[in-house]
């Protein structure tokens, strides 16, 4: 039986001396807007950086996902 409202944490830390980036984007075709976000963590699970944003007049859900990945890589490179 599926539990309603329960979130399972399946996040696993990266190897030593490695950063792990989780990013996500969402797209609302009704008003053609997108939201994106990311979290960068180290091997101990400590959050090193995080960010969110939005874009109006977005093209697609694919654009939302790509923007989220792009923004997270830019931040991790800093």
CA distance 69 to 21: 8
54 contact partners, CB below 8 Å, separation of at least 6: 33, 34, 35, 36
Is the distance from CB of 31 to CB of 39 less than 8 angstroms?
no
* pTM of the complete model beyond 0.75: no
Domain extent listing, the chain: 20-77
Residue 54 phi/psi, 5° resolution? Answer: -150, 160
> Tens digit of pLDDT for each residue in 14-28?
888 888 899 889 888
pLDDT on residue 55: 84
> Tens digit of pLDDT for each residue in 7-66?
667 878 888 888 889 988 988 888 888 998 999 899 999 998 899 988 888 888 888 888
Q: Tokens for 9?
A: 């944490």
Q: How many residues does the chain have?
A: 78
Is the distance from CB of 65 to CB of 32 less than 8 angstroms?
no
């Amino acid at each position: 039986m599926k539990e309603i409202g329960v979130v399972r944490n399946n996040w696993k830390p990266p190897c030593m001396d490695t950063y792990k980036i989780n990013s996500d984007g969402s797209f609302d075709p009704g008003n053609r807007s997108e939201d994106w976000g990311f979290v960068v963590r180290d091997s101990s699970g400590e959050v090193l950086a995080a960010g969110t944003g939005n874009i109006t007049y977005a093209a697609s859900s694919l654009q939302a996902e790509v923007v989220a990945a792009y923004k997270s890589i830019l931040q991790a490179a800093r």
